Amino acid sequence: MSGTFRDLKAWQKAFELALEVYQVTRSFPREEMYGLTSQVRRAAVSAVSNIAEGKGRASDKELLRFLGIAKGSLFELETQIALSESLSYLSKNDAQALIGKVTETGKLVSGLMRAFEPTRELTPRA
pLDDT at 20: 98
Top-confidence residue, 117 or 34: 34
d(Cα 105, Cα 15) in Å, to the nearest integer?
Answer: 10
The structural domains of the chain, ordered by start, are: 5-116 (1.20.1440.60)
Please check whether residue 81 is in contact with residue 40, taking contact to mean a CB–CB distance below 8 angstroms.
yes
Please check whether residue 109 is in contact with residue 78, taking contact to mean a CB–CB distance below 8 angstroms.
no
pLDDT at 66: 97
Per residue in 47-56, pLDDT (tens digit) is 999 999 999 9
d(Cα 42, Cα 36) in Å, to the nearest integer?
Answer: 10
- The answer, yes or no, to whether residue 123 has pLDDT greater than 80, is no
- Percentage of the chain lying above the pLDDT 70 cut: 93
